[in-house]
Amino acid sequence: MKFAATEEMAAACGWRYTVVSQWQPHVRSVLDQLSAQRRQLEDRLGLQDQLEEAADASPFTEFGQLVGETTLPAVARAHAMHLLWHRRLGLDTS
C-alpha cells in the first residue's frame, strides 16, 4: 500500500519510481572490491598524487587509462581503488 502511494506521488511530480529489493550481482562484486581497499595504504611512491593530478587534468572514460598515466600502473590500481573508497576520486558508473 505504501509503495503504491509513493509511486502515485512520484508520478504526479514527474519522477520515476522503482523499488529495489535486492542488489544486482555485479554491484556486490564492485562493493566488495572497493571495500577491500578501505584500510590504511602507504603511498611511498606518490601514486595517489599522480592519480589525482591525472584525474584533475582530464576526464577518463576507462579505469585503465587513468592508472596508465602513472609511473607504475599495476600498483596504481590498488591506490585508485583506495582513493575511490575514501571519496578522493569519483567514478561515473553510467
Q: Give residue 94's pLDDT.
A: 63
Enumerate the H helices of 1-94 as residue ranges: 2-13, 25-35, 47-57, 63-68, 73-85
pTM of the model: 0.66
Each residue's pLDDT tens digit, 6-65: 999 999 999 998 887 787 788 888 788 788 778 888 999 999 999 999 999 988 888 899
19-23, 40-44, 80-84, 87-91: lowest mean pLDDT where? Answer: 19-23
Q: How many Å apart are CA 84 and CA 77, to the nearest integer?
A: 11
Which cell goes with 64?
Answer: 585503465
Output DSSP code: residue 71. S
Q: Quickly state the pLDDT bin for 93 (edges 50, 70, 90).
A: low
Count other C-beta atoms under 10 Å from residue 79's C-beta: 25
